Amino acid sequence: MLDQNRLTHLQTLEAESIEILREVAASFERPVMMYSIGKDSSVLLHLARKAFFPSKIPFPLLHVDTTFKFREMIAFRDRTAEEYGFDLITHTNQDGVRDGINPFDHGSSRYTDIMKTAALRQALTAGRYDAAIGGARRDEEKSRAKERVFSHRNASHAWDPKNQRPELWRTFNTRLNPGESMRVFPISNWTELDVWTYIYSEQIPIVPLYFARPRPVVERSGTLIMVDDERLPLNPGETPKEEVVRFRTLGCYPLTGAIRSDAADLPSIIMEMQASRTSEREGRLIDSDSVGSMEKKKQEGYF
Amino acid sequence: MSAIPATADNSLDLWLAQQTEKSLLRFLTCGSVDDGKSTLIGRLLYDSQLILDDQLASLKKESHNRTVGDEGIDFSLLVDGLVAEREQGITIDVAYRFFSTDKRKFIVADTPGHEQYTRNMATGASNAELALVLIDARKGVLTQTRRHSFILSLIGVKHVVLVVNKIDLVDYDQEAFDRIVAEYRAFAEPLGFKSLAAVPVSALRGDNILRPSENTPWYEGEALVPYLETIDVSEDRTTEKFRFPVQWVNRPNLDFRGFSGTVASGTIAVGDEVLIAASRKPAVVSRIVTMDGDLDHAIAGQAVTLVLDREVDISRGDVLSRPGETLDYSNQFQARVVWMNEEPAYPGRSYLLKIGTQTVPATITDLKFRTNVNTLEQTAATKIDLNEVATVTLNTDKPIAFDPYASNGRTGGFILVDRISNATLGAGTIEFGLRRAQNLTYQSFDVNREVRAQMKGQSPRIIWFTGLSGSGKSSVANLLEKRLTAEGRHAYILDGDNVRHGLNKDLGFTEAARIENIRRVAEVARLMADAGLIVLVSFISPFEKERRLAREIAGDTDFTEVYVDTPLEVCEARDPKGLYKRARAGEIKNFTGIDSPFEPPEDAELVLHGAEAGPEVLADQLHAFLKL
């Protein structure tokens, strides 16, 4: 592991992230780790296991289930929780379920507000969590590039981007007033390539949806949507086609675009990514509603 | 679990190995507003082909009605990520960007130029190894250029590249470039950067970014990117002293108790002895635990869990070191602070201080001076305003373990937090400890100062004489001692020259040695006063800073500063030891009054005018003043 008394780039990033995770465990009373089941969450989970070994992860993992996640994601989540024995909390906005909120009838923006952003706020408030750890990276999106590692939220979970706390060295200010909370991003300084190479070198299990396979899809305004279950309404004359596709990010299946790809294993994914000329979040429909949409969501409490 | 589809692919492994070989450079861009920082980063990302197709398309759309280069893009839009920033066309907060070339990986922090957002610039600087200081070739060195450079030196960024941008707008004029570089070098000289290069560029047009530009044939240095790819900024933290701040106590069950943390500096191996900074208790490392298996040793930067061979009381905030290489452990130290809050800092106010994994209440006990960012001049101050830098003495409620920031950046930097709002108010770097912690070196005995003083029938005190060589300090001190002895009191003279021959004969005349000289004498004086004596210290002590240090060391011991104010001409005419003659002849350097200044004390308890009366009269005046 040690090469001439120098850590490699990935070892440096890993150690930094572990330090951040330990700082959370040591400084907060009720931390929670957001578990979105995606590749970044898988890396985060792996880092948390390393940070506290041989202890178990000293905080629960929280999954906000919008009820429209890919079925493979849910299966993977439950298998992973069982294998590693962490404390898994799932939360769904029951008001949304009662009102039958879905992305088709209510639009992606309103659906996300209710089933994701509001649901997250509900879960954080209900759990009285004072720190929520997330897997966001600064290379993902412009407003994320600006966010602190320890990102302060007021009592209504809102982010004030114009007035962030200074963050010096790795001396994090973890102090809060009653009702306030912290969002913590241990892999802020990782790039997408770092995440993939780390998954490869550490052999971290990820949801198979990342790997190319024949899947039933429909193409809508240039985006490939996978028909994961019968809830996806088909337009007149639209029939699902089997295509070899994979996903670069995972979320709610009606809102997550697939890409045509033959990359069926990690090396091919990494190679494909190196050649790729589009950014990772392009496949996410929620970001493209308007310029600054991510920042707006974050101010409202979205991760 | 689902198996990972991982094929044995040699070419990927090779490629990955190359990625691993690449070093990482963290740098920031800073400088005044509108000097083109964001544009430069956009240019770097564009030229290293990191701007992806979808980003490029949306950029072109947004670049409408903006200043664009040949590519039709306003590069600054790439980095200004907040809506308010795009609306106002300014950068408010630091943005982190990632790019890599064939030779290196880069994380760049784009920091705001406006003075009001200086704290965000400091945030970006605190994790950077190198800084690009941008200057608009038309405007030259501005206040903000100086402020940022000063903060870089305070935060500990050691390498600087002066990027003279918009060189196209001054017609690629070499004279303009040379003038700016000369002015900056003159300013930056005392800031002590390890390396300082200067490049003329146009971020908008791409001159001297990737390769030397034809427009600047007179520039013989490297283009910016090749320079960044090759500059050596490595600081081998593994060769420094071992420091391990305990972050989290790892206790999964009754059989395991480990101490989790990151090796801040140095290395540690199984079998090594360690010492706990606070309790001074030793222990031996029996295991270095990670999820990937136990290690036989760990190096700076690694996050590990140490298991020790015996039961010792250790909790978060403790710092482990090796015996003989221990940290400072004190509740009083001198530090430089950059203030980051609209509400100014005042001496006497209580804050929370966080250093490494330790958090303690702390008070600024003395505001020594403020440093003017334009001139680096030190001026007196009663408070520290937003974005100002000041040198202060801090007192913590309980002792903390630390190193001077100059010797260890990981264990010498701290933040100050508001006790009510919990806002981060400021950041500081420790210069040196002022007093060893009470509970550590101060053994408390049944016989204390009061008892000893009663025995002697006198109240112990320190009388500190300051003044030029030949001013009459020693003569007055001598006469006073004689008189006190005649009165049956027990006094003792510590004389500058005599101490230099013994206790301090290992010290030279550098600034650090001079401070150490004063520190030792002040400590000795305090011990003697503690023993019940009246201590007369006769030292030129020309600098206010050092006299104040002596006063601080004295602590609650009665301290009287006596300024023997005799004009230089008079002293030089007396020249009892022939020193002035030798100094004038150039045989003695740094001689006070000749080629080294004397700062007259402003708050001396008593001033004696050495030219107006003889030593006997002065000794009488002093004796009367002391009311012994």
pLDDT in tens, A28-83: 999 999 999 999 999 999 999 999 999 999 999 999 999 999 999 999 999 999 99
Of A15, A144, A296, the CB nearest to B262: A15
Cα(B591)–Cα(B587) distance, integer angstroms:
10
CB–CB contact B260 A51 (8 Å): yes
| Contacting residues for B179 by C-beta, under 8 A, at least 6 apart | B140
CB–CB contact A265 B5 (8 Å): yes
| Contacting residues for B142 by C-beta, under 8 A, at least 6 apart | B32, B135
Mean local confidence (pLDDT), A201-217: 94
Quick one: which H or E segment has residue A17?
helix A9-27
What are all long-range contacts of A83-86, with beta carbons under 8 Å and residues at least 24 apart? A83/B1, A84/A45, A84/A49, A84/A57, A85/A56, A86/A45, A86/A56, A86/A57, A86/A60, A86/A61
CB–CB contact A1 B248 (8 Å): no
What is the structure's pLDDT at B96? 87
Residue keyed to tokens 């104040």: B548
Residue A201 covered by a domain: no
B33: left (phi over 0), alpha (psi -120 to 50) or beta: beta
Residue A200 covered by a domain: no
Amino acid identity at A80:
T
CB–CB contact A171 B415 (8 Å): yes
Cα(B194)–Cα(B124) distance, integer angstroms:
19
How far is A236 from chain B, CA to nearest CA, in Å? Answer: 30
CB–CB contact A11 B127 (8 Å): no
Whether the Cβ atoms of residue B430 and residue B333 lie closer than 8 Å to each other: yes
B-chain CB neighbours of A197 within 8 Å are 16, 19
- A117 and A145 both lie in a single domain: yes
- A214 and A170 both lie in a single domain: no
What is the structure's pLDDT at B44? 84
Cα(B31)–Cα(B11) distance, integer angstroms:
43
At residue B339, φ and ψ (nearest 5 deg) are: -90, 135
Interface test with A, best of B13, B25, B75, B96 (most A CBs within 10 A): B96
What is the structure's pLDDT at B17? 73
Cα(B231)–Cα(B227) distance, integer angstroms:
6
- Asked about B541 being catalytic, the answer comes back as yes
CB–CB contact A292 B83 (8 Å): yes
Interface test with A, best of B415, B417, B418, B425 (most A CBs within 10 A): B415
How far is A1 from chain B, CA to nearest CA, in Å? Answer: 9
Minimum Cα–Cα distance from B10: chain A residue: A267
Q: List, as residue ranges, the binding site of B for GTP.
A: 31-38, 110-114, 165-168
ipTM: 0.88
Residue keyed to tokens 């930056």: B188
Amino acid identity at B145:
T
A-chain CB neighbours of B122 within 8 Å are 166, 168
Minimum Cα–Cα distance from A173: chain B residue: B424
Structural domain boundaries enclosing A273: 208-287
pLDDT in tens, B521-548: 999 999 999 888 999 999 988 888 888 8
A145: left (phi over 0), alpha (psi -120 to 50) or beta: alpha
- A158 and A248 both lie in a single domain: no
Cα(A165)–Cα(B296) distance, integer angstroms:
39
| Contacting residues for A67 by C-beta, under 8 A, at least 6 apart | A92, A97, A115
Interface test with B, best of A154, A168, A204, A282 (most B CBs within 10 A): A168
Number of separate helices (H) and strands (E) present in chain A = 9, 10
Minimum Cα–Cα distance from A202: chain B residue: B292
Nearest in space to B113 (alpha carbons), one of B150, B143, B68: B143
Confidence of residue B440 (pLDDT cuts 50, 70, 90): very low
The gap from C-alpha A177 to its chain's centroid, in whole angstroms, comes to 27
What is the structure's pLDDT at B259? 97
Interface test with B, best of A70, A73, A167 (most B CBs within 10 A): A167
Confidence of residue B87 (pLDDT cuts 50, 70, 90): low
Poorest-pLDDT segment among A128-142, A211-225, B106-120: B106-120
- A125 and A151 both lie in a single domain: yes
List the structure tokens of A270.
Answer: 């990494």
To 5 degrees, how large is the angle CA B12–CA A193–CA A113?
Answer: 145
- A167 and A45 both lie in a single domain: yes
Q: Report the CATH number at residue A50.
A: 3.40.50.620
At residue B109, φ and ψ (nearest 5 deg) are: -105, 115
Nearest in space to B263 (alpha carbons), one of B292, B288, B294: B288
Residue A271 covered by a domain: yes
Q: List, as residue ranges, the binding site of B.
A: 31-38, 110-114, 165-168, 467-474
Please report the sign of the dihedral spanned by the C-alpha atoms of residue B84, residue B88, residue B90, residue B96.
Answer: positive
Euclidean distance between the first and the last CA atom of chain A, given in angstroms as a whole number: 34
Q: What's the order of all strands across the beta sheet hosting B244-245?
A: B244-245, B319-321, B273-276, B282-289, B303-308, B256-262, B248-253
List the structure tokens of B36.
Answer: 């083109």
Of A22, A143, A168, the CB nearest to B123: A168
Average pLDDT, rounded, for chain A: 86
Residue A249 covered by a domain: yes
Is the model's pLDDT at B486 over the cut of 90? no
List B429's β-bridge partners, or say none.
Answer: B336, B413
How far is A61 from chain B, CA to nearest CA, in Å? Answer: 18
CB–CB contact A278 B53 (8 Å): yes
CB–CB contact A22 B93 (8 Å): no
How far is B473 from chain A, CA to nearest CA, in Å? Answer: 48
Domains of chain B: 19-230 (3.40.50.300), 237-321 (2.40.30.10), 328-441 (2.40.30.10), 449-626 (3.40.50.300)
How far is B395 from chain A, CA to nearest CA, in Å? Answer: 19
Of B24, B62, B260, the CB nearest to A9: B24
Count CB atoms within 10 A of the CB of residue B306: 25
CB–CB contact B81 A143 (8 Å): yes
Count CB atoms within 10 A of the CB of residue B488: 9
Residue keyed to tokens 């004489």: B465
Confidence of residue A289 (pLDDT cuts 50, 70, 90): very low
Whether the Cβ atoms of residue B332 and residue B433 lie closer than 8 Å to each other: yes
Of B126, B352, B417, the CB nearest to A169: B126
Residue A202 covered by a domain: no
What is the structure's pLDDT at B324? 84
Is the model's pLDDT at B562 over the cut of 90? yes
B-chain CB neighbours of A52 within 8 Å are 248, 250, 260
What is the structure's pLDDT at A301? 54
CB–CB contact B413 A171 (8 Å): yes
Residue A4 covered by a domain: no
Minimum Cα–Cα distance from B121: chain A residue: A166
More confident position, B47 or A23: A23
Quick one: which H or E segment has residue B25?
strand B23-31
Count CB atoms within 10 A of the CB of residue B402: 27
Q: Kindly name the residue from B202, B315, B541, B596 that is annotated as catalytic.
A: B541
A-chain CB neighbours of B415 within 8 Å are 166, 168, 171, 173
Is the model's pLDDT at B455 over the cut of 90? no
What is the structure's pLDDT at A62? 96
Interface test with A, best of B75, B78, B82 (most A CBs within 10 A): B82
How far is B14 from chain A, CA to nearest CA, in Å? Answer: 11
DSSP A223: E
Cα(A95)–Cα(A98) distance, integer angstroms:
5
Q: What's the order of all strands across the beta sheet hosting A61-64?
A: A88-91, A61-64, A31-34, A131-133, A181-184, A150-153
Instruction: Burial-class residue B212 by CB neighbours within 10 Å (0-12, 13-18, 19+).
Output: middle
A-chain CB neighbours of B96 within 8 Å are 138-139, 145-146, 188-189
To 5 degrees, how large is the angle CA B53–CA B58–CA B63?
Answer: 120
Nearest in space to A124 (alpha carbons), one of A221, A34, A12: A34
CB–CB contact A266 B4 (8 Å): yes
Whether the Cβ atoms of residue B491 and residue B534 lie closer than 8 Å to each other: yes
- A110 and A27 both lie in a single domain: yes
pLDDT in tens, B283-312: 999 999 999 999 999 999 999 999 999 988
CB–CB contact B12 A271 (8 Å): yes
Is the model's pLDDT at B441 over the cut of 60? no
3-class DSSP assignment, residue B377:
coil
Mean local confidence (pLDDT), B22-32: 85
List A34's β-bridge partners, or say none.
Answer: A62
List the structure tokens of B196.
Answer: 């300082």
- What is the DSSP pairing of strand B461-466 with strand B534-538? parallel
What is the structure's pLDDT at B518? 86
**DSSP string covering B278-294:** TT--EEEEEEEE-TT--
pLDDT in tens, A154-182: 887 788 877 888 999 999 999 998 888 99
Cα-based distances in Å from A240 to A69, A251, B294, B382: 19, 20, 52, 74
- A147 and A265 both lie in a single domain: no
How many inter-chain contacts (A to B, CB under 8 Å) are there?
A: 213
Minimum Cα–Cα distance from A265: chain B residue: B5
Give the total number of structural domains in chain A.
Answer: 2
pLDDT in tens, A97-116: 998 888 888 888 888 889 99
Rg (CA), chain A: 19
What is the structure's pLDDT at A28? 95
Whether the Cβ atoms of residue A62 and residue A34 lie closer than 8 Å to each other: yes
Euclidean distance between the first and the last CA atom of chain B, given in angstroms as a whole number: 86
What is the structure's pLDDT at A217? 93
Is the model's pLDDT at B81 over the cut of 60? no
Confidence of residue A286 (pLDDT cuts 50, 70, 90): very low
What is the structure's pLDDT at B1? 33
How far is B78 from chain A, CA to nearest CA, in Å? Answer: 8
Cα-based distances in Å from B297 to A54, B20, B260, B269, B304: 18, 21, 15, 4, 10
CB–CB contact A267 B6 (8 Å): yes
| Contacting residues for A15 by C-beta, under 8 A, at least 6 apart | A7, B262, B301, B302, B303
B-chain CB neighbours of A281 within 8 Å are none
Residue keyed to tokens 């500063």: B561
pLDDT in tens, B176-231: 999 999 999 999 998 989 999 999 999 888 899 988 999 999 999 999 999 999 88
- A95 and A45 both lie in a single domain: yes
Please report the sign of the dihedral spanned by the C-alpha atoms of residue A144, residue A150, residue A154, residue A157.
Answer: positive
Confidence of residue B66 (pLDDT cuts 50, 70, 90): low
Cα(B475)–Cα(A146) distance, integer angstroms:
66
Count CB atoms within 10 A of the CB of residue B5: 16
Is the model's pLDDT at B406 over the cut of 80? yes
Poorest-pLDDT segment among A134-138, B28-32, B247-251, B331-335: B28-32
Minimum Cα–Cα distance from B426: chain A residue: A166
- A85 and A119 both lie in a single domain: yes
CB–CB contact B16 A201 (8 Å): yes
Whether the Cβ atoms of residue B424 and residue B404 lie closer than 8 Å to each other: no
Q: Which residues of A141-167 are buried (b: 16+ CB within 10 A; e: fewer)?
A: bbbbbbbbbbbbbeeebebebeebbbb
pLDDT in tens, A221-277: 888 899 988 888 888 888 999 999 999 889 899 888 999 999 999 888 888 877 765
B-chain CB neighbours of A167 within 8 Å are 123, 126, 424
Is the model's pLDDT at B24 over the cut of 50? yes
Cα(B319)–Cα(B265) distance, integer angstroms:
12
List B26's β-bridge partners, or say none.
Answer: B107
- A141 and A112 both lie in a single domain: yes
Residue A252 covered by a domain: yes
What is the structure's pLDDT at B554? 87
User: What percentage of chain B exceeds 90 in pLDDT?
Assistant: 46
B-chain CB neighbours of A153 within 8 Å are none
- A21 and A100 both lie in a single domain: yes
CB–CB contact B86 A189 (8 Å): no
Mean local confidence (pLDDT), B352-370: 92
Of B84, B86, B415, the CB nearest to A168: B415
Size of chain B, expressed as the number of residues it contains: 628
Average pLDDT, rounded, for chain B: 85
Residue A169 covered by a domain: yes
List the structure tokens of B135.
Answer: 């200057």
At residue B333, φ and ψ (nearest 5 deg) are: -155, 165
- A79 and A150 both lie in a single domain: yes
